[in-house]
A and B are shown apart, each in its own frame.
Chain A
Amino acid sequence: MSTAGSRESGVGSRAAPSATPDSRLPGPPAAGTLTLRNVTRRFGEHVAVDDVSLQVRPGELLALVGASGSGKTTTLRMAAGYETPDAGSITLAGADGTTRDITRVPPERRGFGMVFQHYALFPHMSVEENVAFGLEARGVGRAERLTRARDALRTVGLGGAGPRPVQSLSGGEQQRVALARAVVIEPRVLLLDEPLSNLDPALRLATRDELRAMLRRLHVTALFVTHDQEDAFAIADRVALLRRGRLLQVGTPEDLYDRPTSRPVAEFIGRAALVAAEDRGTHATVTLGGVARDVRVTRPDGAGATIPRALAVLRPEALTLSPHDGREQPGAWPGAVTARRFAGAATVYHVDVGGPGGVHLEIATVERGAREGDRVWLRVVREPVALVAADEPGAADARGDGRA
């Protein structure tokens, strides 16, 4: 597990080139580190990947997350060698401290393993022939490669399925064959394109856990792409968030959740309401429904002493409510419950603050008593609250909650 204790955040801003914290690490990269440096890819006028820098450390599971069109798949394909960057470089650190530039090395010579979104299993070969294909390409003899293929199939829980045609397997089983095929060649880096997207929902959760366990067990360095932030959080050690080709932030799931460095990150990760706040240094003043309250805040590194136009990221579990009995409550805002949903461990309330047309907040709390129409007091129970700039590079689309 990578022990990067320092908070890392790469911010893409219009003025400065995207910060590349990964390449700011001191010393030569450890053997097996894959580094993408200032990688750019254009398709005609459209810039699919814009000056992205990333480092995947040996044994680490890094997720590339973003909406469709964010450039995550193109980035993965450049890492694999199916696309060539128009600018920037891709390097792999060797065991002897040297770094090899693999930017223009074709896929068949990179020694990476790739698991495709639709598995790309060869339909005219049996399961074990599929898995053995990479070994066949490396000149391994027939008996040995079939043995190793069968071992790999056992590792993914498909021992005995070898002679079967691939069409006879279910979707989940085909995915495991694709995985076995990629790992049997002992790849330097494993690349996965949307590994869970094609599975039906019932299978996804179980596969998610299995996949992480399997990858940890194999001690393989892995870079994978997903549009689902929850999957990324469940599987990866670190998460890189891309949007419209730019890298917004890289960090552990906790980093992205608790300390988003920009508005798009806060909107994409988890659920949150972003409300206007006045940054006063260690705290900020949030005025809702005419009532101003102070909250303790953290702000992104490199954002300066105060952010001129700031938004406070209010996550549902950071807020709670209590009945409004008419008296003034310090540190709380007044509101009215518009919807209630009992979800077992917590109850989710939708609260309007400042009358109709005011701010609409989502709260998840163990308090169950309030009902629709009740007037309540809202307060923050988890501080510090993250503060981000309201302005961001490119068009700002206002989204109420964080789900992209």
Chain B
Amino acid sequence: MTEHAAATEKPGSARYLALGREARDRRAVDVRLLAVPVVLFLLWTVVYPNVAVVLGSFAEGLGLWRAFAASPADREALRTSLVVSVASVVAATLIGVPLAFLLTRFEFRGRRLLAAVATLPAALPPLVGVVAFLFLYGESGVVTRAVQHVLGLSRAPWTLSGVWAIVFVHAYTMYVYVYLFVGAGLERFDTTLDEAAAGLGAGRWRRLRRVTLPLLIPALAGAMLLVFMSSLASFSAPYVFGGGVRVLATQIVNSKLNGAMGMAYVETTVLALSAVAALFLFRWLERRRQYAVTGKGRATRVVMRSPAARVLAPLAALLLVLALVLPHLMVLLVSFARDGAWTTQVLPPEYTLDNFRRLATQPQLWRPVRNSVLMTLAATAANVVVCFVAAYLVVLRRFPGRRLLQFLVALPWAIPATAIAIGLAATFNRNDPLTGRVLLVGTFWILPLAYFIRGVPVVASAVESSLRQMDPAVEDAARGLGASWVLTMRRVVLPAARPGLVAGATLAAVTAVGEFVASVVLYTHANRPISVEILAQLRSLAFGTAAAYSVLLIGLVLVITLVARWIDVRAPRSAAAAADARTIG
């Protein structure tokens, strides 16, 4: 069928090349040599653990499931997880959409500053964000105490605890997704559509309602999905601020700590199913509204004219900038505070460099840093190799099992990190070659494996995106000129994949170095990462040390992004970038 189809396609078209390649690939050995190990590896690390969890949940037939349904704590956990996720979506949308409009459509003093700072919350490792919020808005937080003093209250005006606290923290970090997606949609928006609507007599609100917003729905849906999935999987915020409130993620960890693995499996399965269900729902919604927008509208910013707006907008911008930057500043401040000295004052009273000095000199304290760095390096290296091969196979090759591979690299994204961790704990807890199990739990390597799995969809999709921009005929040209397969990969395919590889690896590394959710399930004292150490320090009320670790973590993230940029700058420009430069210059 493919040979015939190839004969009817126009020679030279990408589809013709792909069909011809498919025919060749079916006979080719090298593709299968490559594909089979990768597929098997991913099946083993990604699917097998989840299957083990699901099977484990049915270990007593339906018994464990009935127990789940009967347990008020579990039912509450499920309900609260969903409620928190929906509320987070609403909150993030309410913040992100107006912010996107404000920063793309209007010009006012302070706009640039606000735009530069608007994505800052996403650059905080999740636990650090939570810690910062503790320092600011917690019961002994700076803002809380300040308000208490100013208003002359005897007790703290609020307690950062419960569902609203979790949603508050989520909204702060996750509005960035909405802001970025909707902002990108607005930048790409075809302004001639808006002009056409205006010319037809539609006023500003009608244009917004009938033209702009409906066309932003795909971008918005994508962002809302991301917020929902992140909220569902979120652990740090409910753990620190939940108070007595249960969500599935914390419930799972509780069950594991209590040794009730069966219940943990059921809870994990429920969590994973919720995530996958949400994924399908959103994708279905998104698919119904894909429009190709091809106009060449020029987006110009409107200068605010009304005097009230000219005063209010910069003021609001300033307040927002402050609110966004405050957590980072707070962490920095507290990192210099002497442990134990900050009790009831608004701000820590004593400052010292001691926290950092101890971190650098005491082996016990330095260990987590070393662990995180090593584990991140290992995981990211594995990500780079495996995902490059996988993406190459998915984009440029046709073979039976290609769709399976595509599914496998995307799967970890749909599964909350806690579920991934439980899956690993369930599977790799003994040496049993017959069932393909290796003892990794309790060793150093279990965490890099978890980081690796979490990073697979990130790196793979970034590389896929880069490779899709490459003309597939280029590879054929190289082979035709006599280049061996290895030479072709090294000199033709790898350079094309490089931008995506660097971007994806950066994101995966940044996530891994500050990873908390899976770490808290799987860590041992020997391989404890920075995030777990921060929690330990917080529990001992050593706020200064906890903050010092947080600052160090932020520093590591910065180093990683700088290294990535350095690699990028050194790399020879891709053909596409060079072509762009020629047309722009």
Residues of A within 8 A of B (CB): 80-82, 106-114, 116, 118, 120-124, 133-134, 136-138, 167, 181-182, 185
Residues of A within 8 A of B308 (CB): none
Chain A residues whose CB sits within 8 angstroms of the CB of B296 once the complex forms:
118
Chain A residues whose C-beta falls within 8 Å of the C-beta of B200 in the assembled complex: 108, 113, 133-134, 137, 181-182, 185
- Complex formed: what's the CA distance from A24 to B292 in Å? 49
**Would you call A138 and B201 a contact (CB within 8 A)?**
yes
Interface centre among B198, B199, B214, B294 (most CB of A within 10 A): B199
Q: Does B481 contact A (CB under 8 A)?
A: no
| A108 x B202 contact (CB < 8 A) | yes
CA distance A167 to B203 in the complex (A): 26
Q: Is the CB of B199 within 8 A of A80?
A: yes
Could you list some 30 contacts between A and B, CB below 8 A?
A82-B198, A106-B198, A111-B201, A113-B200, A114-B196, A116-B192, A116-B295, A118-B192, A118-B294, A118-B296, A120-B193, A120-B295, A121-B196, A122-B193, A123-B291, A123-B292, A124-B214, A124-B215, A124-B291, A133-B197, A133-B202, A136-B202, A137-B197, A137-B200, A137-B202, A137-B203, A167-B291, A182-B199, A182-B200, A185-B200
Given contacts A118-B296, A167-B292, contact A123 B215 (CB under 8 A): yes
B196 touches A120 (CB 8 A): yes
Note all chain A residues with C-beta closer than 8 A to B291: 123-124, 167
Q: Are A107 and B203 in contact (CB under 8 A)?
A: no
Q: Distance (Å) between the CB of B296 and the closest chain A CB? A: 7
- A114/B292 in contact, CB under 8 A: no
Q: Could you tell me if A120 and B202 are in contact, using CB atoms closer than 8 angstroms?
A: no
Interface size class of B (residues with CB under 8 A): 20 to 34
| B241-291 contacts to A (CB < 8 Å) | 289, 291
Instruction: From known contacts A118-B294, A123-B292, A123-B293, infer whether A185 and B201 are also in contact, taking CB-CB under 8 Å.
Output: yes
- With beta carbons under 8 angstroms apart, the residue of A121, A137, A167 that contacts B201 is A137
Query: Is B195 positioned at the interface, with any CB of A under 8 Å from its CB?
Result: yes
Near A by CB (< 8 A), chain B positions 213-240 give: 214-215
Chain A min CB distance to B204 (Å): 9
Interface residues of B in 16-56 (CB under 8 A from A): none
Of all chain B residues, the one with the shortest Cβ separation from A165 is: B291
Q: Which of A112, A121, A167 contacts B199 (CB 8 A)?
A: A112
Query: Which chain A residue shows the least CB distance to B201?
Result: A137
Residues of A within 8 A of B196 (CB): 114, 116, 120-122, 181
Most chain A beta-carbon neighbours within 10 Å: one of B196, B198, B215, B292: B196
Q: How far is the CB of A25 from chain B (nearest CB, A)?
A: 28
Check A107 against B199 for contact (C-beta < 8 Å). Answer: yes
A111 to B296, CA, bound (A): 24
Residues 389-415 (chain B) with a chain A CB within 8 angstroms? none
CB of B195 within 8 A of CB of A107, answer yes
Q: Give the tally of cross-chain contacts (CB within 8 A).
A: 75
**Cβ contact within 8 Å between A108 and B201:** yes
Cβ contact within 8 Å between B214 and A120: no
A137 touches B292 (CB 8 A): no
Kindly name the residue among A111, A113, A134, A167 whose own CB sees the greatest number of chain B CB atoms within 10 A. A134
Q: Are A124 and B289 in contact (CB under 8 A)?
A: yes
Q: Which of B197, B198, B206, B295 has the most CB of A within 10 A?
A: B198
Q: How many angstroms from the CA of A86 to the CA of B192 in the assembled complex?
A: 22
- Compute how far the CA of A107 lies from the CA of B194 in the bound complex, rounded to whole angstroms: 11
Q: How far is A108 from B201 in the complex, measured between Cα atoms in Å?
A: 4
Give chain B residues whose Cβ lies under 8 Å from the Cβ of A118. 192, 294-296
Does B190 have its Cβ within 8 Å of any Cβ on chain A? yes
B residues near A124, Cβ cutoff 8 Å: 214-215, 289, 291
Nearest 4 A/B pairs, CB to CB: A134-B200, A120-B196, A137-B201, A123-B291
Q: Which residues of B contact A81 (CB under 8 A)?
A: 199
| Separation of A137 and B203 alpha carbons in the complex (Å) | 8
- Is B211 part of the contact surface with A, judged by Cβ < 8 Å? yes
Bound-state Cα–Cα, A133 to B201, Å: 9
Give complex CA distance A182, B210 in Å. Answer: 18
B95 to chain A minimum Cβ distance, whole angstroms, is: 25
Given contacts A118-B295, A124-B289, A185-B201, 16 further A-B contacts (CB under 8 A): A106-B198, A107-B195, A108-B199, A108-B200, A110-B199, A112-B199, A113-B199, A113-B200, A116-B295, A122-B197, A123-B291, A124-B215, A133-B202, A134-B200, A167-B292, A185-B200
Question: Which residues of chain B have C-beta atoms less than 8 A from A110's C-beta?
Answer: 199
User: Which residues on B sit within 8 Å (CB–CB) of A121?
Assistant: 196
Bound state CA distance, A163 and B311, in angstroms?
Answer: 48
Nearest B residue (CB) for A82: B195
Residues in A with CB closer than 8 Å to B211 are 122
Say yes or no: A120 contacts B215, CB within 8 Å: no
CB distance from B357 to the nearest CB of A (A): 56
Taken together as a complex, chains A and B put the C-alpha atoms of A122 and B197 apart, in Å, by 9
Rounded to whole Å, the gap between the CB of A227 and the closest CB of chain B is 16
Residues of B with C-beta under 8 A to A182: 199-200
Asked whether A134 and B201 contact (CB < 8 A) given A118-B296, A123-B291, the answer is yes
Give the complex CA separation of A384 and B227 in angstroms: 77
Residue pair B190, A120 in contact (C-beta under 8 Å): yes
A252 to chain B, nearest CB (A): 29
Within the complex, the shortest CB–CB distance from B489 to chain A, in Å, comes to 39
Taking a contact as CB atoms under 8 Å apart, the answer to whether B195 and A116 are in contact is yes
Find the A residue at minimum CB distance from B296: A118
- Candidate in A81, A120, A133, A185 with the most chain B CB atoms within 10 angstroms: A120
Considering the complex, give the chain B residue whose CB is closest to the CB of A181: B200
- For A132, the closest partner residue in chain B by CB is B200
Residues of B within 8 A of A109 (CB): 201
User: A122 vs B192: C-alpha distance in the bound complex, in angstroms?
Assistant: 10
**Cα distance A121–B195 in the bound complex, in angstroms:** 11
A155 → chain B, closest Cβ, in Å? 17
| Chain B, residue nearest A139 (CB) | B201
Docked complex Cα distance between A401 and B202 (Å): 46
Q: Inside 8 A of B214's CB, which chain A residues have their CB? A: 124
Q: In the assembled complex, how far is the CB of residue B568 from the closest CB belonging to chain A, in whole angstroms?
A: 33
- Mark interface residues in B446-483 (1 if CB within 8 Å of A CB, else 0): 00000000000000000000000000000000000000
Cα–Cα, bound, A268→B195 (Å):
31
- Chain A, residue nearest B293 (CB): A123
Cα–Cα, bound, A80→B198 (Å): 10
Interface centre among B197, B214, B215, B294 (most CB of A within 10 A): B197
B302 to chain A, nearest CB (A): 12
**Beta-carbon contact of A114 and B202 below 8 Å:** no
* CA of A220 to CA of B214, assembled, Å: 33
Minimum CB–CB distance for B301 against chain A, Å: 15
Please indicate the chain A residues that have their CB under 8 angstroms from the CB of B198 in the complex: 82, 106-108
Complex CA distance for A113 and B198, rounded to whole angstroms:
10
B531 to chain A, nearest CB (A): 44
Chain B 356-389 against A: per-residue CB contact (8 Å), 1 yes, 0 no? 0000000000000000000000000000000000
Collect the chain B residues with CB atoms within 8 Å of residue A112's CB.
Answer: 199
A134 / chain B contacts, CB cutoff of 8 Å = 200-201
Q: Smallest CB-CB separation from A131: which chain B residue?
A: B200
Binary interface encoding of chain B residues 548-583 relative to chain A, with 1 for a CB under 8 A from any of its CBs, else 0: 000000000000000000000000000000000000
Tell me the complex Cα distance, A116–B211, Å: 16
Name the contact of A120 in the complex, choosing from B192, B289, B292 (C-beta under 8 A).
Answer: B192
Cβ–Cβ contact A114 & B199, under 8 A: yes
A114: min CB distance to chain B, Å: 4
Proximity bits, B295-308, A CB within 8 Å = 1, else 0: 11000000000000
Complex Cα distance, B191 from A116, in Å, reads 11
Complex: chain A residue closest to B195, CB-CB: A82
Question: Which residues of chain A are near B295, meaning CB under 8 Å?
Answer: 116, 118, 120
Docked CA distance A109–B214 (Å): 24
Least Cβ–Cβ distance between A364 and chain B, in angstroms: 38
- Report the nearest A residue to B211, measured CB to CB: A122
**Residues of chain A within 8 A of B289, CB atoms compared:** 124
| B5 nearest CB across to chain A (Å) | 26
- Tell me which residues across on chain A come within 8 A of B294, comparing CB atoms: 118
Which chain A residue has the least Cβ–Cβ distance from B196? A120
- Whether the pair B293, A108 counts as a contact (CB closer than 8 A) is no
A-chain residues with CB within 8 Å of residue B195 when the two chains form the complex: 82, 107, 114, 116, 120
In the complex, what distance in Å separates the CA atom of A347 from the CA atom of B210?
Answer: 57
